[in-house]
Amino acid sequence: MAPAPTGGSPARPTRVWNARAVHFDRWLALWETALDEHLNAPEAQALLVMASRMRVSLQRFALAGAALQGEKS
């Protein structure tokens, strides 16, 4: 099995791709639309809650990485 391109961390690409808050807003909106289209309301809501929690963590990681990059410049 080949190693994951993310290096095993789902948060790593947010730093590599220079992700910003607007990207996370868009990701969550797209995810919500997909959930609503394919799942019943209780399942969609449960997954949206999990995605919202992920968004907070991933965004925090991305913005911390951006701040560190700024310090190195």
Over residues 11-63, the pLDDT tens digits come to 555 555 677 888 889 999 999 999 999 999 999 999 999 999 999 988 888 77
Instruction: Copy the structure tokens of residue 10.
Output: 């789902």
Q: What tokens were used for 40? A: 């019943």
6, 13 in Cβ contact below 8 A? yes
pLDDT at 47: 97
pLDDT class for 68, splitting at 50, 70, 90? Answer: low
Answer yes or no: pTM beyond 0.85: no
| 52 or 8, which is more confident | 52
